[in-house]
Amino acid sequence: MVTSTLCCANNSTLRILTMICPKCGSTNDKVIDSRSAHNGRAIRRRRECYGCSYRFTTYETIEAPLQVIKQDGSREEFSKEKLVNGLRRACHKRPVSISVIEDLVMSIQHHFEQTHLREVPAKEIGGMIMDKLREIDDVAYVRFASVYRKFTDATQFADAAHKLKTSN
């Protein structure tokens, strides 16, 4: 995608995004029609290439934020801040800089963005953090792992309690 500029009457600059023409490869096209699509979740644009007059369609959609599946099955939006805060607690008074923590969280976020997953179990994110944290700081790793393990044990306990209930 290439950005071209057009000059308006009031001298303000209007940025227009153009697509590469699938037929001739030109990056100059005009939008001839825009309309709502997929029940308003997308915008469908008919475009015409200035180079060869070929007409093609593009869809503009909202990129849904990554959802984290919690132990109880509920979903929560992936929060970079939340992870950074949790890691800062684990790294309290440890020789780990905030930028190292932020890089770790960013690398996890990028990992899931690249896999194009919409939903990731919290467990999987926790496991990835533990793997990376182990290489960064032993104490922070143990602290994080103890909180994380307590979390998984609590669900295992809930599962066991649930099984007892249903077997009665």
Rounded CA separation 164/168 (Å): 7
Nearer to Zn ion, 16 or 24 (CB): 24
Residue (26 or 58) nearer to Zn ion, CB? 26
Task: Indicate whether 67 belongs to the interface with Zn ion (CB under 5 A).
Answer: no
Q: Which is nearer to Zn ion, 19 or 84 (CB)?
A: 19
| 18 lies in the binding site for Zn ion (CB under 5 A) | no
Could you tell me which stretch among 41-49, 68-76, 122-130, 138-146 binds Zn ion (CB under 5 A)?
A: 41-49
Query: Can you tell me which of 17, 32, 52, 147 binds Zn ion, judged by CB under 5 A?
Result: 52
Q: Which stretch binds Zn ion (CB under 5 A): 44-52, 57-65, 103-111, 120-128?
A: 44-52
When binding is defined by CB under 5 A, the residue of 2, 4, 14, 23 that contacts Zn ion is: 23
Contact set with Zn ion (CB under 5 A): 21, 23-24, 26, 49, 51-52, 54
